[in-house]
Structure 1
């Protein structure tokens, strides 16, 4: 596949291979110019659950206009990394981070090394991406992380109506849909890509706990795993984000006990928006939010 170009941006397709030999489709956004200057930074995007990488295209193009290069990718089972059918498809939810996102980070690190770049490697995460950061086996390559809409997933942190809807989804609707299809037909709810069976099972299980998998007796090693990250970390949660309220973020981000954390409770009106909710951080009209990311990333040393 050839590079896809716009007047400002080259979108280069990548076929990444994970350490467990799974092919992942990714894209490398670069400026459409012959400039010899180093990029301001390389950003790797950790997507939300069930959200294909194309959703982050506008953010990536805006970042390129600010001097950054950007890597996006589809996790296994999602988007351009999906098999012909999810029925009978087996995977571990955590491998989206430990294998797939890790491959994207390794690609970015290789770019820095082979091109002898002095720029920073920054992770921008959305929802699951805030979990993925702490799971990365090559977390030492990350110089800073900016996370949107990540939380513990427990229904108790949600507003009352959303709490009811989520419990209905997990306990009544989703089990029926999964039994009929062999996977979670998430797309039928208008909530993103269809999800592999184990993603559904593991996600549902950990959402039973107020602190997500940190409360799972079988996952106590996660405290040590997440404690590895000791770099700058900005965690932004809109006050109208029903799936990841600031309290939900605080419950989960206790796991990043050694990070240099800045928590931001975002008022939609502060960035000229009527609402943000869980997906608005990366929609077309969120440029004021993105400008904060770029300004912060330029301060990293």
Structure 2
């Protein structure tokens, strides 16, 4: 099904695309590409509760430069959510282990390089996939450990109020986290909320969960080249938080990159500005880096 069909090689084809996660769950995505030859493929791995249209500007930008880009919604989110979110059962880990892994299977071709551009959770998700060896490199933004102790005091206080005072009664009433009502993103399934809240209490996030003893080894198995970017005004994923999580990619070729808004002519970046209008200089720098790997 097509939203827009390219008329010539300089126009972007934008196509709605359904594909299956590894367990057969049907996911909703959008593919962006030119009609001309494709340099490489990019999967955009979204942040928690961020619907795929948020990444449209970046997808169009990369497509115009010759990349095929796939954005998609994880199960339980936006266009990949069931009609009724209450009672929908899933694990937060499914987004990586089954959904992102399904996207990798869907797009991977031996002859064309495949990259992941991850945002927040998206950078965490690669280590959960069983087919990470099919990914040539990952470039992620704002990926951290989630623990409020890494945040500046004001943000730490706000986050703790949300987790401990605001969210619990709302979730108990609704049976899911109605993030959309709080203008924070798409609504989230109960399982995602419960696990996220639990893991964010620990400096090493889900690596501290005794119910997940195999996670460290799964991340150690990843040998993909990874570029991990933190904006110095991203209070949710400052460099210390990024390192606390990314260090578990013990055998990956890791490069940490710190950026400041002023370096790109921006007033701020924060946790969401990596993909907002005006972030084109950040994307250009990333694309230049990825092109060295093609």
Shorter chain as denominator, the TM-score bin is over 0.9
CA distance in 1, matches of 2:266, 2:77: 30
Native 8 Å contact 2:117 2:139 kept in 1: yes
- What's the TM-score once normalised by structure 2's chain length? 0.96
Please say if 1:150 is aligned against 2:143: yes
Instruction: Please tell me whether the aligned partners of residues 126 and 150 of structure 1 are also in contact (alpha carbons under 8 angstroms).
Output: yes
Structure 1 position 14 matched with structure 2 position 29: no
Residue 3 of structure 1, CA deviation: 4.3
C-alpha displacement of 1:11: 1.1
In structure 1, the partner of 2:268 is 275
Alpha-carbon distance in structure 1 between the residues aligned to 2:285 and 2:41: 16
* Deviation of 1:101 (Å): 1.1
Give the equivalent residue in structure 2 for 1:165: 158
CA distance in 1, matches of 2:2, 2:117: 26
- Distance in structure 1 (CA, Å) of the matches to 2:209 and 2:21: 27
**8 Å CA contact retained: 1:42, 1:119:** yes
Other-structure match for 2:92: 93
Equivalent runs, 1:27-66 vs 2, <5 Å: 27-31=30-34, 33=35, 35=36, 37=37, 39-66=38-65
Question: 2: distance between equivalents of 1:8 and 1:259?
Answer: 36
**In the alignment, does 2:256 pair up with 1:253?**
no
Report SS of the residue matched to 2:138: strand
Per-residue CA distance 1:252-278 (angstroms, 9 max, x = gap):
011011111110111111111110000
Q: Structure 2 residue aligned with 1:181, among 168, 174, 178?
A: 174
Tell me which residue corresponds to 2:212. 219
Q: Give the aligned partner of residue 128 of structure 2.
A: 135
Aligned length: 291
1:204 and 2:197 aligned:
yes
Separation in structure 2 between the aligned mates of residue 101 and residue 231 of structure 1, nearest angstrom: 15
Return 263-272 or 217-226, whichever deviates more. 217-226
Q: Is contact 1:41–1:297 with CA below 8 Å preserved after alignment?
A: no
CA contact (8 A) 1:43 1:123 kept: yes
Q: Which residue pairs with 1:262 in the alignment? A: 255
Deviations 1:193-226 (A, max 9, x none): 0100000000011101101111222223111100
Q: Aligned partners of 2:86, 2:66: CA distance in 1, in Å? A: 42
Deviating beyond 6 angstroms after TM superposition, the runs of 4 or more aligned structure 1 residues are: none
TM-score (ref. length: structure 1): 0.94
| Corresponding position: 1:24 with 2:27 | yes
Distance 2:21 2:257 in 1: 33
Task: Determine which of 106, 115, 118 is the counterpart of 1:122.
Answer: 115
- 2:33–2:64 contact (8 Å) kept in structure 1: no
Q: Match for residue 78 of structure 2?
A: 79
Which residue in 2 is equivalent to 1:291? 284
Please show how residues 185-196 of structure 1 align to structure 2 within 5 Å: 185-196=178-189
Within the alignment, does 1:243 sit opposite 2:246 as a pair?
A: no
Gaps of at least 5 residues in structure 1 are none
- Asked if the contact 1:102/1:137 (under 8 Å) is kept, the reply is yes
**Deviation for aligned residue 1:231:** 2.2
Please report the RMSD computed on the Cα atoms of aligned residues, expressed in angstroms.
Answer: 1.2
SS where residue 219 of structure 1 aligns? coil
Q: Is the Cα contact below 8 Å between 1:48 and 1:125 reproduced in 2?
A: yes
